[in-house]
């Protein structure tokens, strides 16, 4: 099993910044793509950004130029630097890790518990 522990969410004013962190732990054989998703009330969960093990990133159009995803493979940690935050960024942000656990042949998507990001004045 793989566990994801998130941190960094909170309340911020429009134009402010937050950095989310997500550390994967457990019996990890290999971590592939990591990413962040978000879900606002009334909306489906949507992709925010992903990053491959090799550092290739992908962003939702709505966050390009404002958010930056990065990872530290030595720490099995993915980050999301969020700048110029807008009220519409308010959502629960979920960390996702595609990984293979030790002793398993399966490559599985693991999810964090979600962390609330609220952008409000």
pLDDT of residue 52: 97
**β-bridge partners, 34:** 51, 97
Average pLDDT over the chain, rounded to whole?
96
Q: Is the pLDDT of residue 21 over 90?
A: yes
Distance (Å, whole) CA 77 – CA 71: 6
pLDDT of residue 4: 96
**5-37: b or e for each residue (b if 16 or more CB lie within 10 Å)?**
ebebbeebeeeeebebbbbbeeebeebebbbbb
Question: Quick one: pLDDT band at residue 13, thresholds 50, 70, 90?
Answer: very high
Give the tens place of pLDDT for each residue, 71-98. 999 999 999 999 999 999 999 999 999 9
Give the pLDDT mean for 10-21.
98
Give the pLDDT mean for 21-35.
96
Q: Is the pLDDT of residue 1 over 90?
A: no
Bridging pattern class, strands 115-119 and 10-12 = parallel
pLDDT of residue 86: 98
Question: What's the Cα-to-Cα distance from 83 to each of 15, 37, 46, 69, rounded to whole Å?
Answer: 7, 16, 19, 11
Is there a contact between 18 and 85 (Cβ–Cβ < 8 Å)? yes
């Amino acid at each position: 099993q793989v566990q994801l522990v998130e941190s960094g969410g909170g309340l911020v004013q429009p134009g402010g910044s937050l950095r989310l962190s997500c550390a994967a732990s457990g019996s990890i054989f290999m971590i592939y793509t990591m990413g962040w998703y978000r879900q606002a009330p009334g909306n489906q969960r949507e992709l925010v950004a992903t990053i491959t093990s090799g550092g290739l990133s992908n962003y939702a159009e709505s966050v390009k130029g404002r958010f930056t995803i990065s990872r530290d493979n030595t720490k099995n940690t993915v980050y999301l630097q969020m700048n110029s935050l807008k009220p519409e960024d308010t959502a629960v942000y979920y960390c996702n890790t595609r990984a293979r656990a030790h002793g398993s042949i399966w490559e599985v998507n693991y999810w964090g518990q979600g962390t609330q990001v609220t952008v409000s004045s």
